Amino acid sequence: MPFQPIKFYQTGSFVVGNRLLSEDQRSVQSSQARTNSLTLGHRACQGCGEALGARYALDAAMRATDNQMVVANATGCLEVFTTPFPETSWQIPWIHSLFGNSAAVGTGIAAALRSKGRQDIRVVAQAGDGGTVDIGFGPLSGMFERNDDVLFICYDNEAYMNTGVQRSGATPPAARTATTDAVGPHPGEDFGKGKNLPLIAMAHEIPYVATATVAELRDLEYKVEKAMSFHGARYIHVLVPCPLGWGSAPSDTIRLSRMAKETGLFPVFEAEGGEVTSVSNIRHQLPVEEYLRPQRRYQHLFRPQPDTETIGRIQAIADKNISRFGLLNGEPK
Amino acid sequence: MERPFAITLEVGSSRHNKTGTWRVERPVYVDRLPPCNDACPAGENIQGWLYHAESGDYESAWRKLMEDNPLPAVMGRVCYHPCQTACNRGKLDEEVGINSVEHFLGDIALDKGWMPETAATDTGRTALIIGAGPSGLSAAYHLRRLGHTVTIYEAGANPGGMMRYGIPKYRLPREVLDAEIRRIEAMGVEIVLNHKVDDLAAVLAEKRFDAVFLAIGAEIGKRAYVPAGESARILDAVSFLHSMEGQAPPLLGRRVAIYGGGNTAMDAARTAKRLGATDAVVVYRRTRDRMPAHDVEVEEAVEEGVEMRWLSTVKHADAGKLLLEKMTLDEKGMPTPTGEFEELEADSLILALGQEVDLELLRNVDGVVATDGVVQVDRNMMTGVPGLFAGGDMVPGERTVTVGVGHGKLAARNIDAWLRGTSFSKGGRPELADFDLLNTWYYSDAPQTVRAKLDVARRRSTFDEVVQGLDESNALFEARRCLSCGNCFECDNCYGVCPDNSVIKLGPGLRYEFDYDYCKGCGICAQECPCGAIKMVPESI
C-alpha cells in the first residue's frame, strides 16, 4: 500500500503537523523532539532543497532506527555546506568520504558491524546526483548487486551545483547548465541523454526502491521508514530543487518540487524486488510550462518567443511518465 | 591536549555561524482579518470560534461566539450570512456553512444549559434600554456583561421585537427565541413588558438612569395609496405577521396577493401559503435581480409554490380581483408604466412596502435629529442628546437581526465608555486576508454539508421549522472546512519547511517564533503557510 493520505481534518496530512490529528498521525518533522540531524548555522544557500531533504530523510531514519544509525556522505554541496573544518552541522554519527565512494564506505561500515555482531546499528549512505549517477555509480551498482545492508539516499538537484552548475547524468533535457548552454542546435541539455537511476536500481532487483520530493514530507518519511524495515540494499531518490542552479526564487523550492510531481516530470513511486508497487497520483495536473517558466535554466525556452516545439517534447516526457506509471489513476502500465 | 590523528582544531558546531546576517527580508507572523469577520454586521470573530469548533471544543467555540453575539441559536436560523458570501473557500469549492455551525452551537448551548460569564463586580451604573428587539437585547447583554445594571422597557406582551412579531415561526421557532432571551434575563437583565414609552422626555427627566439606549425598531407598515373598492380586503404585512402571534389567525381567503419585493413580502407570502391559501402571488414592480429580498428567501418561497409577478404594480383593488399595470425598466433601471393592464384574482392584498419608525415618543426631546424617518447617530451610536444612544431599525442601515445585534454591541461598548467617563475606539483594522494570500494546496477538497430541509409538502401546510440543524459529525466536518484565513492554526508547516531550522515551535496553543540569528530569509515559510499568516518584510539597512 502506498502512503495513505488523511483526507479531511481541515488540512489532513498535507501539512507538516495538524493539531487535529493524533500525535502518531503527525510527521516526524512536526515534533519538537525531532533529531535535527542537520542543525543551525549550515552554509547552504537560501531556500536550499538539499538541506531540507537531508534533514527530512535522516530525522525519519533516526526515528525508524531508534537513533542507532551511521551515515556515510559523499563529497558535494551537502558536505561542503555542513562541514567547513572545524565546524560541523551534523548531530548524528557521520563520516566523510570521497566524491565517488560513499556506497563503498557504507558497504564497509555494514560489513564491519556485521563482523562485530552489531545488528542493531543501521547504515545510510548518501550523495548528490553527481556522486550517485556519475562518479559513484560503480560502487553503488556493486552495493546493489551484492545486496549490502545499506540504505542509499540520492538528493537529486539535477547538476553539479557545488562546483558551478555543470551537467550531470541527472540533468533533464533542455536545462541550461554551465556546460550545456543553449547554443546552435542545442536546446540546453540534449534530449536523449542522461539516465534514470531509480529504474536502474530496480533492474538490480534490490528489496526496495522509491522516489520522493521535498514537497510531500509525509510520503518521504513513510518511504524512509519503510526502507528501514528491509535488510539488504535499498535506494531512495529525492528531488531537491536548487535555487542557485535552477535559477529559481529561494521561496519556490517546495512549490517547484510539487510542480515537478504534478506535471508528471518526476514520477513518485515505490518498488519492491524490481516491481513498481505503488505510485503517488497527480492531484491537480499541470502543464509542464508552469513548472519550466519560473526557472531561469529554462528561460531560453520562453525568450524571445516560446519554443513550443521543445516545450512540447518536454510535455511528451511528462505524458509518457503519466501513462507508464499510471500517475493519474494509480495503475502502472 | 590530545586530539585525534590529523586534527589540529577542536571540533565546533556550525552554530557559531550566525547565518541570519545573510537576510534581506524577514518573515513575521501576522494575524490578518478574515473576510468572514470583515463582513459580519455583528462583528463576530468567526474564524476565532470556528478554530475551537474544529477541535470539537464546542463550549469554547460558543463562548468565543458569545463575546460578540448573545443570540447564536437565533442568528444561526435567521441571519442572511454575509460572512458566507465573503468566505474565501467559495473560490475553492463552496463557502463554509458558517451559519449552520452557528445554528449547531446555539442549539447545543441551550441543550447543555451553558451560561455566559458576567463581570465579577457590579459597577453600580444603570442603563435603560427601550425596546426588547435584537439591538435592545444585544445592548442589554453586553452592558450586563460589563457589570452595569440594565432595565429594558418593552411595549409588547413578549420580548423579541421583530424576531417574534416579524419573523415567522417556520424560520425561528419561538422556543429557541424564548430560551435565548431567558438566558439574558438570567444574567440579571430586567425586562419590563407592556411598558410603552410614549414620552421619552418625561423618562429622561426622571434621571433614574445614567444612560439610555433607544431601540424601538421600525414597526409601522408603509401604506401606499391603492385605489380600492369598498369591499376590497387590504392588510399591511407588518400587522399581518404580528397577528400570527395572536389567538386567531387573520382571514385571507384562498387567493392572496402580496405587494412588494423585500424579505417581509416573502415572509408574508410563505405565511399565507401555510394558512391555506391556494395561490400566493407576489407582485413586484421590478425584476428578480433588483429585488431586495435575499436569494435564500426567494428560493424557499418559490419551492413552496409562491408565484411571482414581475414588473407589475397594483392600480386598483376590488373584491376578489386586482387590476395590475405592467411596467418596464428605463435605462436607469427605474420602473415606468407601460399602459398595459391585466387582472389578477385575489381575495386579499397584503402590502409589504417597507416599514417606518414611530418617532412619536421623541416629540418633546430636544437635540435628536431625524432625517428620512430615521434617527441620526454619530459613530458612537449616540444621538444629539448626551447619554442618549440609538440603534437597530430606527437608525440608518440595513434592517436585519444581525445588523441590530451589531448596533447593540457597538452601542453597549460606547455606553460603557460613557458611563466610565472614557471613550471607546474600535482599534485599527488588520489588513484583509485575501484569497491570493492563501496556499490552498494544503486544504483537503471537501464540499459543503447542506442542512436538510423540511419536506415541501409539510412546509406548505405547517409552521414547522424549514431548515434543520446539523448533527455533531456534520457540524464538525463543516467547521473543519474553515481555511483559517490570515490566522495561524498551528499546522507546523513553517516549522517543518524551514531548511535552516530557524522556526521555533513553542508548543500547543503557543504558536511559533523565528530564530532571527539563523533565518536566512528565504521565504519558504511564507510561501508554504496555508493561511497567509506569515509576511515577508524588508530588513532595515
Residue window 160-179, chain A: list those with CB within 8 Å of chain B: none
Among the partner-chain residues B505, B527, B530, the one whose CB lies closest to the CB of A252 is B527
Contact list, A43 vs chain B (CB under 8 Å): 14, 17, 19
Closest CA to B182 of B101, B103, B102, B115: B115
Mean pLDDT confidence for A209-238: 97
List chain B pLDDT tens, one digit each, 541 residues. Answer: 577 776 677 778 999 999 999 999 999 999 999 999 999 999 999 999 999 999 999 999 999 999 999 999 999 999 999 999 999 999 988 899 999 999 999 999 999 999 998 877 889 999 999 999 999 999 999 999 999 999 999 999 999 999 999 999 999 999 999 999 999 999 999 999 999 999 999 999 999 999 999 999 998 888 877 888 878 889 899 989 998 887 777 888 899 999 999 999 999 999 999 998 999 999 999 999 889 999 889 999 999 999 999 999 999 998 888 999 999 998 888 899 999 999 999 999 999 999 999 999 999 998 899 988 999 999 999 999 999 999 999 999 989 999 999 999 999 999 999 999 998 888 788 999 999 999 999 988 777 777 777 777 777 777 888 888 888 888 888 899 999 999 999 999 999 999 999 999 999 999 999 999 999 999 999 999 999 999 999 998 7
Sign, CA dihedral A105-A110-A115-A120, equals positive
Instruction: Kindly identify which residue of chain B lies nearest to residue A86, measuring between CA atoms.
Output: B11
Pairing relationship of beta strands B312-318 and A234-239 according to DSSP bridges: unpaired
Contact list, B12 vs chain A (CB under 8 Å): 86-88
Cβ-Cβ contacts under 8 Å for B73 (sequence gap 6 or more): B103, B106, B107, B109, B110, B176, B179, B180
Among the partner-chain residues A16, A82, A253, the one whose CB lies closest to the CB of B493 is A16
B14-31+488-538: CATH class:
alpha beta
Chain A within 8 Å of B296 (Cβ-Cβ)?
Answer: no
Q: How many CB atoms lie within 10 A of CB A285?
A: 13
Residue B14, C-alpha cell as written in the block: 556550525
Residue B198, C-alpha cell as written in the block: 410614549
Q: How many CB atoms lie within 10 A of CB A250?
A: 20
**Would you call B277 helix, strand, or coil by DSSP?**
coil
Banded model confidence at residue A2, pLDDT cuts 50, 70, 90: low
Residue A320, C-alpha cell as written in the block: 509518457
Q: Please state the ipTM of this predicted complex.
A: 0.94
B126-219+359-420: CATH class:
alpha beta
What does the alpha-carbon distance between residue B506 and residue B513 come to, in Å, rounded to a whole number? 7
The domains found in chain A, sorted by start residue, are 23-325 (3.40.50.970)
Among the partner-chain residues B19, B518, B527, the one whose CB lies closest to the CB of A251 is B527
Sign, CA dihedral B292-B294-B298-B304, equals negative
Helices (H), A267-333: 288-292, 308-325
Longest dimension (CA), chain A: 64
Same-fold call for B14-31+488-538 versus B226-355: no
Instruction: Kindly identify which residue of chain B lies nearest to residue A21, measuring between CA atoms.
Output: B55
Q: How many CB atoms lie within 10 A of CB B209?
A: 18
Cβ-Cβ contacts under 8 Å for B399 (sequence gap 6 or more): B218, B355, B393
- How far does B522 lie from chain A, in Å, by closest CA? 5
Q: Does residue A132 have a pLDDT over 90?
A: yes
Banded model confidence at residue A296, pLDDT cuts 50, 70, 90: very high
pLDDT of residue A333: 47
- Provide the percentage of residues in chain A whose pLDDT is more than 90: 88
In chain B, where the domains are located: 14-31+488-538, 36-114+445-479, 126-219+359-420, 226-355
What does the alpha-carbon distance between residue B72 and residue B63 come to, in Å, rounded to a whole number? 10
Most A CBs within 10 Å, among B17, B500, B516, B539, to test the A interface? B500
Among the partner-chain residues B480, B484, B496, the one whose CB lies closest to the CB of A27 is B496
- How far does B70 lie from chain A, in Å, by closest CA? 28
Length of chain B: 541
Phi-psi category of residue B9: left, alpha or beta, with phi > 0 → left and psi -120 to 50 → alpha: beta
Flag the least confident range among A260-274, A305-319, B158-172, B438-452. Answer: B438-452
Domain B36-114+445-479 has CATH 1.10.1060.10: yes
- How far does B76 lie from chain A, in Å, by closest CA? 22
Among the partner-chain residues A86, A250, A254, the one whose CB lies closest to the CB of B10 is A86
Among the partner-chain residues B441, B443, B484, the one whose CB lies closest to the CB of A258 is B441
Among the partner-chain residues B444, B497, B527, the one whose CB lies closest to the CB of A52 is B497
Chain A within 8 Å of B528 (Cβ-Cβ)?
Answer: yes
Higher-pLDDT residue of B248, A323 = A323
Amino acid code (one letter) for B274: R
Chain B within 8 Å of A223 (Cβ-Cβ)?
Answer: no
Contact list, A86 vs chain B (CB under 8 Å): 7, 9-12
Identify the helix (H) or strand (E) that includes residue B80.
none
Cβ-Cβ contacts under 8 Å for B182 (sequence gap 6 or more): none
CA distances from B5 to A88, A102, B452 (A): 18, 22, 77
- How far does B21 lie from chain A, in Å, by closest CA? 11
DSSP structural state of residue B290:
G
Identify the helix (H) or strand (E) that includes residue A152.
strand A151-156
The DSSP code sequence of B378-420 is -TTSB-SSTTEEE-GGGSSS--SHHHHHHHHHHHHHHHHHHHH
Among the partner-chain residues B442, B477, B480, the one whose CB lies closest to the CB of A15 is B442
Note whether B513 and B534 are within 8 A (CB). no
Cβ-Cβ contacts under 8 Å for A313 (sequence gap 6 or more): A173, A174, A191
Beta-carbon separation of A14 and B524 below 8 A: no
Flag the least confident range among A25-39, A120-134, B9-23, B510-524. Answer: B9-23
Residue A198 preceded by cis peptide, ω within 30: no
What does the alpha-carbon distance between residue B439 and residue B533 come to, in Å, rounded to a whole number? 11
B511 burial (CB, 10 Å; 0-12 / 13-18 / 19+) is middle
Mean pLDDT confidence for A233-252: 98
Beta-carbon separation of B499 and A48 below 8 A: yes
Domain B226-355, second-level architecture: 3-Layer(bba) Sandwich (3.50)
Beta-carbon separation of A47 and B501 below 8 A: no
Residue window 27-56, chain B: list those with CB within 8 Å of chain A: 54-55
Q: How many CB atoms lie within 10 A of CB B370?
A: 15
Contact list, B89 vs chain A (CB under 8 Å): none
Beta-carbon separation of B495 and A251 below 8 A: no
Closest CA to B421 of B387, B444, B389: B387
Contact list, B505 vs chain A (CB under 8 Å): 30, 32
Q: Tell me how many residue pairs between chain A and chain B have CB atoms under 8 A apart.
A: 159
Beta-carbon separation of A254 and B524 below 8 A: yes
Contact list, B22 vs chain A (CB under 8 Å): 46
Beta-carbon separation of A86 and B9 below 8 A: yes
Length of chain A: 333
Chain B within 8 Å of A252 (Cβ-Cβ)?
Answer: yes
Beta-carbon separation of B444 and A41 below 8 A: no
**Would you call A37 helix, strand, or coil by DSSP?**
coil
Mean pLDDT confidence for A204-219: 97
Identify the helix (H) or strand (E) that includes residue B104.
helix B98-112
Beta-carbon separation of A47 and B489 below 8 A: no
Contact list, B19 vs chain A (CB under 8 Å): 40-43
Among the partner-chain residues B11, B15, B492, the one whose CB lies closest to the CB of A41 is B15
Chain A within 8 Å of B16 (Cβ-Cβ)?
Answer: yes
pLDDT of residue B1: 59
Most B CBs within 10 Å, among A15, A39, A81, to test the B interface? A15
Contact list, B497 vs chain A (CB under 8 Å): 16, 52, 254
pLDDT of residue B487: 96
Instruction: Kindly identify which residue of chain A lies nearest to residue B440, measuring between CA atoms.
Output: A11
Instruction: Kindly identify which residue of chain A lies nearest to residue B526, measuring between CA atoms.
Output: A251
Chain B within 8 Å of A191 (Cβ-Cβ)?
Answer: no
